[in-house]
Amino acid sequence: MTRDRPEPPLALVAELTHRCPLQCPYCANPVALGRSGGELDTATWRRVLDEAASLGVLQLHFSGGEPTVRSDLDVLVRHAAGLGMYSNLITSGVLLDAARLRLLAEAGLDHIQLSFQDADPGNADRIGGLAGGHAGKLAVARQLRAAGLPLTVNFVVHRQNLERVPDMIGLGEALDAGRIEIAHVQYYGWALMNRDALLPTRAQLDAATDAVEAARARLRGRMVIDYVVPDYYAERPKACMGGWGRRIITVTPAGKALPCHAAEGLPGLAFPCVRETTLAAIWQDSPAFVRFRGTGWMAEPCRSCDQRETDWGGCRCQAFTLTGDAARTDPACAKAPDHAMMNAATAASALPPPAFVYRRYRSPSEPASTVGALPQTPAGGFAPCTPTRGSAPGPVI
Ligand code: SF4
Ligand code: FES
């Protein structure tokens, strides 16, 4: 049987490393963090970028962890520019300075997305787990605008910073950002472990949404504000990743190719490694990418729903983390048989928040209970790709 060849991915998310000086309790990296010795080396990343360009990828997002930990970042940026790809650096900024920014700009970097934990310096440093981090970000934001780099500022919001959405937007304006992203935490991995400390009340969410709408009206034509709402109060799910295996391909620091950053823990799927096969073969034919692509895998209520080619059944990782079955309808959907569990989870938002479990490496001997239970982390961590010889460039953090 032949299958139609899928459209090429729009974007490659290149997760260069899991190393990061910050410890955000909602980090999108897996709980079993990869170490520097398992990272792809420069030559392999260059080949992956070549293959991405040949496949038709137009956008490249350098991500992490903190991608500026890698001392070969400017080499990879220059390589991407030579391939004609639009490159975006997703960074906390705390390891950047004016000289490195100039180097990246000269190498052809097109855009920087700079993350902030809050508009309040003390609370930002508390959430990120790095004293002085917020002040460093402010300095870097000014330096990167001086280097001529376009800036998006990103605020991840939750119950412990949500009332400052107006201040966050004001900070984005003051930093001369072209775009502001206000993104509610999405609950996988570390964030799921910290859900009771992060999930806002409905009243908090509504106040923040009103503040975003007012700012959008005030800044119309001058500034774009992206707003990502939490699934837990939604009636319909988001089209996660634009649909499984439709728009985005992610490559982890160790070289696993994933349809989304959180997919590695889904059971029964063997995610291919870029050390062993090409990006084109992975995208077009690997069973893991084909498994939830399109609508053929859907059961009811999605199968006969008129929204199935709009939201693509929501998020497979959320379906698995909440129900134990990645093929079920995303519980965020009001039509889902499991939707009531979202309402049950929001009840904790009215109680005092527990302490954060910060994102950090854990020694092999440390009991799993010290970082909480996580449904999508298999016992013993994720199976590595074939390790590289030696370590990737950059300091171990
Ligand atoms: Fe989307 Fe499925 Fe819900 Fe329809 S039933 S809105 S396709 S998640
Ligand atoms: Fe993996 Fe949504 S986060 S499909």
For residue 264, report the distance from its CA to the centre of ligand 2, in Å.
10
Q: Whose CA is nearest to atom 8 of ligand 1?
A: 313
Can you tell me the distance from the alpha carbon of 240 to that of 100, in angstroms, rounded to the nearest whole number?
34
CB 338 within 8 Å of CB 323: yes
For residue 11, report the distance from its CA to the centre of ligand 2, in Å.
15
pTM exceeds cut of 0.85: yes
Residue appearing with tokens 């930093």: 175
pLDDT reading at 375 higher than 90: no
The three-class DSSP label of residue 218 is helix
For residue 134, report the distance from its CA to the centre of ligand 2, in Å.
29
Q: With a 6 A CB cut-off, is 336 part of the ligand 2 pocket?
A: no
CB 155 within 8 Å of CB 183: yes
The per-residue pLDDT for 5 is 86
Q: Whose CA is nearest to atom 2 of ligand 1?
A: 302
Sheet (strand 11-15) strand order: 224-228, 179-184, 151-157, 111-116, 86-91, 59-63, 11-15, 248-251, 257-258
Q: With a 6 A CB cut-off, is 316 part of the ligand 2 pocket?
A: yes
Q: What is the dihedral of CA 28, 244, 34, 138, to 10 degrees?
A: -40
Q: What is the pLDDT of residues 234-269, one digit of tens each?
A: 999 999 999 999 999 999 999 999 999 999 989 999
Query: Which ligand neighbours the alpha carbon of 309 most closely?
Result: 1
Query: Which ligand neighbours the alpha carbon of 259 most closely?
Result: 2
Q: Whose CA is nearest to atom 1 of ligand 2?
A: 317
- Tell me what percent of the chain is helix, strand and coil, each rounded to the nearest 5: 35, 10, 50
| Cα end-to-end span (Å), the chain | 49
Interhelix angle 73-82/98-107, rounded to 10 degrees, is 20
Q: With a 6 A CB cut-off, is 305 part of the ligand 1 pocket?
A: yes
Percent of the chain with pLDDT over 90: 85
DSSP 134-153: HHHHHHHHHHHHHTT--EEE
Q: Which amino acid is at 37?
A: G
DSSP 165-213: HHHHHHHHHHTT-SEEEEEE---SHHHHHTHHHHPPPHHHHHHHHHHHH
Q: With a 6 A CB cut-off, is 331 part of the ligand 1 pocket?
A: no
For residue 228, report the distance from its CA to the centre of ligand 1, in Å.
19
Can you tell me the distance from the alpha carbon of 278 to that of 335, in angstroms, rounded to the nearest whole number?
39
Can you tell me the distance from the alpha carbon of 218 to that of 199, in angstroms, rounded to the nearest whole number?
28
For residue 131, report the distance from its CA to the centre of ligand 2, in Å.
32
Q: What is the pLDDT of residues 294-335, one digit of tens each?
A: 999 999 999 999 999 999 999 999 999 999 999 999 999 999
Mean pLDDT of the chain: 91
For residue 339, report the distance from its CA to the centre of ligand 1, in Å.
11
Q: Whose CA is nearest to atom 2 of ligand 2?
A: 315
Q: Whose CA is nearest to atom 7 of ligand 1?
A: 308
Q: With a 6 A CB cut-off, is 237 part of the ligand 1 pocket?
A: yes
Q: Whose CA is nearest to atom 5 of ligand 1?
A: 302
CB 188 within 8 Å of CB 28: yes
Ligand 2: residue of 247, 260, 321 to mutate (most ligand atoms within 8 A of CB) is 260
Query: Which ligand neighbours the alpha carbon of 301 most closely?
Result: 1
CB 201 within 8 Å of CB 349: yes
Residue appearing with tokens 């059971």: 267
Give 382's Cβ-side CA count (13 Å radius).
32
- The phi and psi torsions of 170 (rounded to 5 degrees) equal -60, -40
Q: Residue 214 — very low, low, confident or very high, per pLDDT cuts 50/70/90? A: very high
Q: With a 6 A CB cut-off, is 260 part of the ligand 2 pocket?
A: yes
pLDDT reading at 89 higher than 80: yes
Q: Distances from the Cα of 297 to the Cαs of 225, 249, 305, 310, in angstroms?
A: 35, 20, 13, 15
Alpha helices in the chain (DSSP H): 42-55, 73-82, 98-107, 121-128, 133-146, 165-174, 189-193, 195-198, 202-218, 279-285, 287-290, 316-323, 340-346
For residue 49, report the distance from its CA to the centre of ligand 1, in Å.
35
The more confidently predicted of residues 388 and 145 is: 145
Tokens of 157: 């919001």
Q: What is the pLDDT of residues 15-37, one digit of tens each?
A: 999 999 999 999 999 888 888 78
The per-residue pLDDT for 388 is 38
Q: With a 6 A CB cut-off, is 258 part of the ligand 2 pocket?
A: no
Q: Residue 385 — very low, low, confident or very high, per pLDDT cuts 50/70/90? A: low
